[in-house]
Amino acid sequence: MKLMTGKEYIESIRKLNIQVYMMGKKIDNPVDDPILRPSLNSVRMTYDLAQKPEYQDLMTAVDPDTGNKVNRFLHIHRGTDDLIKKVKMQRLLGQKTAACFQRCVGMDAFNAIYSTTFEIDKKCGTRYFENFKKFLRYAQENDLTIDGAMTDPKGDRSLAPHEQADPDLYLRVVERRPDGIVVRGAKAHQTGILNSHEVCVMPTIAMSPEDKDYAVAFAVPLDTKGISLIIGRQSCDTRKLEGGTIDVGNAEFGGVEALTVFEDVFVPNDRIFLNGETEFAGMLVERFAGYHRQSYGGCKVGVGDVLIGAAAVAADYNGAAKASHVKDKLIEMTHLNETLYSCGIACSCEGNKTESGCYIINLLLANVCKQNVTRFPYEIVRLAEDIAGGLMVTAPSEKDLRDPKIGPIVDKYLKGIASVSTENRLRILRLIENLSLGTAAVGYRTESMHGAGSPQAQRIMIARQGNLPAKKDLAKALAGIVEGNKCSN
């Protein structure tokens, strides 16, 4: 089985008839759109690195059921070694793109659905596991990029899905036919869906029997009739239309999000993985969330490596590299970044086998990992901005630097150390701006807060997984406490 090259991947996306809207217009050629293309380049890197001999161990895996080599993004974790390599792969890709490379959601959806459908079939006598394995083989054989879609718009958060004033605010089944189902609704904040071949939909919360129509999981091609994408606006996104490279910060790579709308989309029976079994919706959500929170211990760390490096370069160019406070800030940034990585590796090492044979991470440690990710990148960004200086956000544009009349003035007054050009100084500052405030901030700073669930979502899981009663028993045993004892005189 041949893995696609990056070039072949891009051409495969070009062939899809995806309905895309951005800034009030329909985009007929999203592959070559200057705002959207950097996000496609980020996914391309997941294919390019899989072709390189030095990255084979991280980027690919052998499926034990078929003996075929597959891209690790399409692999089912068969042991803690797979879980560890996943995190290391994500760090590598973060280092290579300094952006969101977008395939993690699909990989995490695959592993969560694999184990959950096995257990649904065991209890309910359904064929969801066989359906999913068939889809898995299809994705592997064609080396596809799969988007995982979980987050519903949710409407009024105080109401259950079936209680909403508008029933479409959670994606739902509106018709059940002998040959399949028809679904309607939307999935919000869909990272990378524009650059995917297929979308794998899951419920977004645990559900009661009254929410039966909302407990649905399935996969369909992105160009299925009734699916449309409305691209999310990012800070500084129109800089990509200006033709330069300095002001963009990261000219080659980026990320993209979309509101994905399903308008009476038909799903055939063999593509359905959950259809009304509400008692398993929570299991699927919990497992997916755990895998995805593990992911942040890799991808955000790789981007953090780039940001730390950029801050160090900025200090060099500013002539401040030897200052003790700058050295200390770089140490602190490194300490925070490696702590995130340690959590990602720890929850992987402590993983365990599910009934399906698929391995899942330690859910408590995965949630601790993501809880740290909601905090540490913000401090890393703050320190990077501190080291970079105010010029990061007050520098004139690249057009000013290139202008025959005012360019020499900009060059003269914005120069740092004599041995480094003003242009290179501005380039590193714009990269820091991109990672801290610009389009890449969506894939680093802001996504660190809300991606894979908000901070409170992790705290709920930490409380659930933390086993406080057992900790109380440990303390009571050491204190010599016997319940029911009366105080003696």
Residues tagged active-site: 100, 104, 191, 257, 292, 296, 299, 447
- Selection from 450, 404, 399, 447 nearest residue 426 by Cα: 399
Residue 216 β-bridge partners: 275
CA dist., res. 113 & res. 132, Å (int): 8
- Determine the Cα angle at 147 with ends 291 and 222, to 5°: 165
* Residues forming a β-bridge with 218: 201, 272
Q: CA-to-CA distance for 47 and 93, rounded, in angstroms? A: 11
Pairing of strands 146-149, 198-201: parallel
Placement of tokens 């299925």 in the chain:
224
* Burial (0-12, 13-18, 19+ Cβ within 10 Å), 472: exposed
DSSP 419: T
3-state secondary structure string across 111-174: HHHHHHHHHHHHHHCCCHHHHHHHHHHHHHHHCCCEEEECCCCCCCCCCCHHHCCCHHHCCEEE
Strand partners, 200: 148, 219
Contact in structure between 392 and 429 (CB atoms under 8 Å): yes
CA–CA gap between residue 224 and residue 218 (Å, rounded): 13
> Which amino acid is present at 268?
P
Interacting residues of 89 by C-beta distance below 8 A, sequence separation 6+? 58, 59, 72, 298
Record the tokens describing residue 153, joined without a space: 């718009």
Q: Tell me which DSSP letter residue 249 carries.
A: S
Structure token pair of residue 429: 């500052």
DSSP result, 343-385: HHHHHHHT-EE-TTS-EE--HHHHHHHHHHHTTHHHHHHHHHH
